[in-house]
Amino acid sequence: MLWNRSLVMIDSETKSLWSHLLGLAKQGPLEGTRLETLPAIMTDWKTWKTRHPDTTVILLSRTTSEFRTEFYRDPTRFVIGYARGSYARAWSFADLQQRPVLNDSVSRQPLLVFFDAESSTPFLYSRQVAGRVLNFDFQDGKLVEQKTGTLWEPLTGKALEGPLSGEVLKPLPGVISFRKAWEIFHPESTYWGSGK
């Protein structure tokens, strides 16, 4: 089923209907209940397998065509969004292709948005580490913390070289969405750059 042109989930136990973009039960015995949102990565198999070579995979019956990065051929149609309380913010894939590292914030939450153009994969992290707010740059294809020069692995959020080596950025639950769907479900959302 669709609601506002977006997927509706149904739970097996109560048959409640859920908005996947809001994580909210819209109808049924659990109406009004909100799910806890967890960070996840939506990327291509090559990117995932390179970083997690021992991964196992479950094969489910196919309900749609194969996912390929060509799906994002028009990056203006997609955003990664983040909602926190009554605040929401989104970053356009088109903007992220031009500027793959953004230091931003939502409701006093300092954020790092990183975009891997090769796999069309956005990542969202907290910029707070050990009580400090960090700022990042993208230099020679590498994610670098501005003040200490620490080099980070952007796809895992781990500091590899420098004074902060071993620290790990906390991933945040970003939502990859069609831009139009994000606007419908988060009409209060602000946008970075040319987003809106």
Q: Which helix (H) or strand (E) holds 51?
A: helix 45-51
29/87 same-domain check: no
Do residues 32 and 61 share a domain? no
Domain count, the chain: 2
Query: Tell me, what CATH number does 187's domain have?
Result: 2.102.10.10
Domain membership of residue 82 as a residue range: 37-195
Tokens of 46: 């090559």
- In terms of Cα–Cα distance, which of 42, 125, 35 is closest to 78? 42
Rounded to a whole number of angstroms, the distance between the first and last alpha carbons of the chain is 29
Q: Are residues 42 and 24 in the same domain?
A: no
Q: What pTM value is reported for the model?
A: 0.85
What value does the mean pLDDT take over residues 81-88? 90
pLDDT band at 99 (very low <50, low <70, confident <90, very high): very high
Average pLDDT over residues 120-142: 92
**Residues 141 and 56 placed together within one structural domain of the fold:** yes
Q: What integer is the mean pLDDT of 68-83? A: 85
Q: What is the pLDDT of residue 67?
A: 61
Statement to judge: residues 120 and 183 lie in one domain: yes
- Main-chain dihedrals φ then ψ at residue 46, nearest 5 degrees: -60, -45
pLDDT for the residue 185? 92
**Confidence (pLDDT) at 86:** 87
Same structural domain, 113 and 142? yes
- Please write the tens of the pLDDT for every residue from 41-53: 888 888 888 888 9
Q: Are the C-beta atoms of 136 and 146 separated by less than 8 Å?
A: yes
User: Other CB atoms closer than 10 Å to residue 95's CB: what's the count?
Assistant: 21
Do 85 and 155 have their domain in common? yes
Residues 156 and 66 both lie in one domain = yes
13: left (phi over 0), alpha (psi -120 to 50) or beta: alpha
Within this chain, do residues 17 and 91 fall inside the same structural domain, yes or no? no
CB atoms inside a 10 Å sphere around CB 10: 12
**91 and 11 in a common domain:** no
